[in-house]
Amino acid sequence: MLKPGRVRALGAMSGTSLDGVDAAVIDTDGETVFGFGATGFLPYTPAQQAVLRGALGKWPDQDVAEAAEVVETLHAQLLSRFDGVDLVGFHGQTLAHDPAGRGTHQVGDGAVLAEVLGLPVVWDFRSADVQLGGQGAPLAPFYHFALARWIGAEAPLAFLNLGGVGNLTWIDPSRPTPEAEGALLAFDTGPANAPLDDLMRARRGVGRDEDGALAASGTADEAEVAAFLTSSYFFKMPPKSLDRNDFAGLSDVVAGMPDADAAATLVACAADAVARGMEHCPVPPARVLVTGGGRRNRAMMARLAAGLACPVDPVEAVGLDGDMLEAQAFAFLAVRVARGLPTSCPGTTGVRASVGGGVVSRPGAAALGGTSPMAPRLTGS
């Protein structure tokens, strides 16, 4: 059993950029953030990245054993460096996401990590939400709500995560809880870094456009950007979510462009998708706080600032760590799962009522029957 009150939770995140594993400790009771602890990052080697890329799009009934071993090994190496921790939140690596079809698939076994670390591990965060009609993503909004309280926000604001895919959380911090009606609206805005990273890898043999320098030197093809925004996805009402490769066709759109113009066009598509998504917010946010790798792309941030009618700042402007926020989110959600609190609601994933799910694996549980699935818990009508 998890001790009552404040605990030290360690969260880990391996995102769609496939660059490595982030880990971060927070001090929380699952409702309030009291402080932040140690952080760490361990990169995937090129060989490990190749294994993971080869597994993208695969489902559990396909051969993903090598990818699972890569994910579990790197997580174990990084997470074992932390001490004084009460439990771990392990997201795993998303290989496929199709909530309207086959569901969602994150590779990596939390029971393996529980044995290696000697700690309870909370994992498989998304499946219960999908099983109950939700999109299974995004899941960070409940943590964003807690952070809005931590920074003392009074007016509605938005957190924008620019990872491989972009996702937006609109927050009304005056509401009593994240699952309260009107407290949150969240959805994937469109592609973010993934198309640009793929372009840089294919054309220049590097993993990213460092600081957005290449994109900043180019000129976006505005006609192609406008055509991109006619995709049916942008006309769907939230909740809605994307797989990393849902807009893979963008690589064909920029295929004939010079490198700099191709990069600038992909950045413009990502930023303008965010601006289009803002139309769904109940009221315009007073501020947008940007997390994820995209906040370091100066071309992306400039395009966002030009397209949005409010200040756009990296989360560091309010004392947060944009590199570790996703890992912190799964530490926070792990505590909520362990305490039976919801982790998603209609406003964040479209699930029919507030729900908490997940799997809690404890050291030595294999001898007692293996992992312990947390039965999905619905609240509300």
> Do residue 196 and residue 307 come from a single domain?
yes
Q: What is the mean pLDDT of residues 353-360?
A: 91
Q: Token pair of 95, please? A: 């290989």
Contact 56, 64 (CB under 8 A): no
Quick one: pLDDT band at residue 18, thresholds 50, 70, 90? confident
Among candidate residues 182, 331, 198, the one with its CA nearest the CA of residue 263: 198
pLDDT digits (tens, 9 = 90+) for 276-315: 999 999 999 999 999 999 999 999 999 999 999 999 999 9
Among candidate residues 369, 289, 333, 365, the one with its CA nearest the CA of residue 128: 333
User: 284 lies in a domain?
Assistant: yes
> Do residue 230 and residue 190 come from a single domain?
yes
Q: Cα(265)–Cα(276) distance, rounded to whole angstroms?
A: 16
> Do residue 184 and residue 272 come from a single domain?
yes
Q: Which domain holds residue 286?
A: 152-318
User: 248 lies in a domain?
Assistant: yes
Q: How far apart are the first and last CA of the chain?
A: 29
Q: Among residues 318, 352, 369, which one ends one of the domains?
A: 318
Q: Token pair of 156, please? A: 């509605």
Look at the chain and count its residues: 381
> Do residue 219 and residue 112 come from a single domain?
no
Q: What is the mean pLDDT of residues 158-185?
A: 96
Q: What is the pLDDT of residue 341?
A: 96
pLDDT digits (tens, 9 = 90+) for 60-80: 999 999 999 999 999 999 999
User: 346 lies in a domain?
Assistant: yes
pLDDT of residue 43 exceeding 50, the answer is: yes
- Structurally, the chain folds into a number of domains equal to 2
- What does each C-alpha distance from 204 to 49, 208, 355 come to in angstroms? 17, 9, 44
> Do residue 95 and residue 182 come from a single domain?
no
Contact 12, 23 (CB under 8 A): yes
> Do residue 180 and residue 228 come from a single domain?
yes
pLDDT of residue 366 exceeding 80, the answer is: no
Among candidate residues 77, 28, 29, 70, the one with its CA nearest the CA of residue 49: 70
Percent of the chain with pLDDT over 90: 87
Q: What is the mean pLDDT of residues 193-200?
A: 95
Q: What is the pLDDT of residue 96?
A: 92
User: 250 lies in a domain?
Assistant: yes
Quick one: pLDDT band at residue 245, thresholds 50, 70, 90? confident
| CB-count exposure of residue 374 (10 Å: 0-12, 13-18, 19+) | middle
pLDDT digits (tens, 9 = 90+) for 107-142: 999 999 999 999 999 999 999 999 999 999 899 999
Q: Among residues 279, 298, 318, which one ends one of the domains?
A: 318
> Do residue 35 and residue 179 come from a single domain?
no
> Do residue 351 and residue 214 come from a single domain?
no
Chain-centre distance of CA 87, in angstroms? 20
User: 147 lies in a domain?
Assistant: no
Contact 366, 113 (CB under 8 A): no
Q: What is the pLDDT of residue 371?
A: 45
> Do residue 257 and residue 366 come from a single domain?
no
Q: Cα(77)–Cα(94) distance, rounded to whole angstroms?
A: 19
Buried b (16+ CB within 10 A) or exposed e, 228-255: bbebebbeeebbbbbbbbbbeebeebbe
Among candidate residues 159, 142, 11, the one with its CA nearest the CA of residue 78: 11
Strands 20-28 and 7-14, sheet pairing: antiparallel
> Do residue 170 and residue 93 come from a single domain?
no
Among candidate residues 190, 141, 183, the one with its CA nearest the CA of residue 164: 190
> Do residue 220 and residue 164 come from a single domain?
yes
Q: How many CB atoms lie within 10 A of CB 188?
A: 25
Q: Cα(189)–Cα(272) distance, rounded to whole angstroms?
A: 9
User: 255 lies in a domain?
Assistant: yes
> Do residue 294 and residue 313 come from a single domain?
yes
Q: Cα(374)–Cα(109) distance, rounded to whole angstroms?
A: 15
User: 256 lies in a domain?
Assistant: yes
Strand, helix or coil for residue 28: strand
User: 143 lies in a domain?
Assistant: no
Quick one: pLDDT band at residue 15, thresholds 50, 70, 90? confident
Q: What is the mean pLDDT of residues 346-374?
A: 76
CATH number for the domain that contains residue 133:
3.30.420.40
Q: Among residues 302, 318, 334, which one ends one of the domains?
A: 318
Q: What is the DSSP letter of 306?
A: H
